[in-house]
Structure 1
Amino acid sequence: MKKMIGLVGTNSDNSTNRQLLQFMKEHFKGVAEIEIVEIKEIPLFNKPADKQVPEIVTEIAKKIEASEGVIISTPEYDHTIPASLMNALNWLSYHIYPFLDKPVMITGASYGTLGSSRAQQHLRQMLDSPELKARIMPSSEFLLSHSLQAFDESGKLKDQVQIEKLNGLFKDFVIFVDIMKQLGNAHEANKEEAENFSWETI
C-alpha cells in the first residue's frame, strides 16, 4: 500500500480540486492511502530574517517527506496557479527541501473548458526549479473541465471516460513512484546543491 499526499492547490473552501482529490482518495483506496493536505492556513511568505519556517509549513513538509508520492491538484487563475499554491511552494523551498527527488503527479479541475492546462504547465516549471527539484511524472495531464458539473451528489466523477483516464494515469504514477526509488543515487548531491543554491550569486 503506497502512502501518498494529496495537496489541495487552493485556499478556497469550495474547491472542485479538493473534490477531485477526495474522489481519488476513495477511488484508489485499495492501492494507496492518500492523505488530503490543505494549504489555506499557511501565512503569506515574507522571507523572514531569522529563516524560521512556520510550524504549519514544517508539518506539511514532514508529511511530504514521509510520503512515497505527492498529488497536487490545481485550479487555474489568469493562466497560472493560484497565489496560495505559489505561496505554499515558496515556503516549502525556503531552507527546507521536502520535494527534492519526490515523485509528483499533477492534476487540475477548472470551471471552464481547458481544465487548468496552463496552470499545470506553470506548476511543472516551478517544481523543476533548483530549490524544489521534484520528479514530475512526464507526459501526463489530467484536466477536468466544467468541474462544477463533473461530480454527482456522492462526490463521484460522472464521466466514465474521465474515470478510465484517471485510472490509467494513477496506475502509471504508482509505477513511476517505484522507478524513482531506484534513481536516488544523486539525492545527497542534489540536496547539497539545493542547500547551497542562491540566485544572488549566479
Structure 2
Amino acid sequence: MPIRPGTNSFASPEKAQLYELGAKYSLFHDRIGATASLFRLDKGNAINADPVTGEVQGSSDRQRNQGLELSVGGIILPGWNVTATYALYDSDTTYSATKANRGKNVQYVPHNQATLWSVYNAFANTPYNIAFGGGVTWRQHVWLNAANTFRAPANLDFSAVISHRFDKHWKISMNGYNLANRLNYQSLFSNRSTPSAGRMFLGEVSFTY
C-alpha cells in the first residue's frame, strides 16, 4: 500500500522478492533439534527515515539482504535445556539515487548476532523444585543511516532467572537483566538510538489454570 509520509506526496510501495532454503534435523531420539536456513531478500523502493527529522520517506533505493541462520536446542541431560542461535547477515544498498549510499550496509542490520540460553530444573515434581538458568545475547554494531556515517555499538546482554513452583497453578520467579550493567541500545531509528535499561531485577508471581 502506498504511504504518504507527512505532507509529502504518496511514496511508491516497497517491492520485495524472498528466496529461502531450509533444513531441520533431530538427534538422540528427538532430544536435540537443529535448523539451518539460507535466504536472500531483494527489496526495491526501500523506505528510509530522514536523518534529520526522522520522517519516513520513500526512495528508489534497492537493497539486498542475504545470510545464514542456525539454531540448535534441546535436552542435554534430564532437566537441562539449552538453546543456541546464530545469524550471519550480508546486507547492501545495491542502488541509490544518492551515490554515497551505494554499496553501503543497510541500516539497522547487524553482520552477526547470536544467543545462548540454558535452564536447569532441579528436583522436578517435588516440593523442593527449583529452576535456574541464564544466557547471553550479542549483536554486532549496526549503522543508523544509509550513508553509514553514524552507528550504534554492539550489544551484549547477560540475563538470569530463578523460579520455584508451589503447585501446578502458582509460580514465583526472579529475573535479572543486563547483569553486567552495560550501555546497550534497544530502539534504533534514523540517526537516533535509545539506551536499554541498566542492571534490573524483576520479581513475579504467576497463576495459571
Please report the TM-score for the alignment, with normalisation by the length of structure 2: 0.25
Larger Rg: 2
Question: Does 1 or 2 have the higher relative contact order (CA < 8 Å, sep 6+)?
Answer: 1
More strand by share: 2
Please report the TM-score for the alignment, with normalisation by the length of structure 1: 0.25
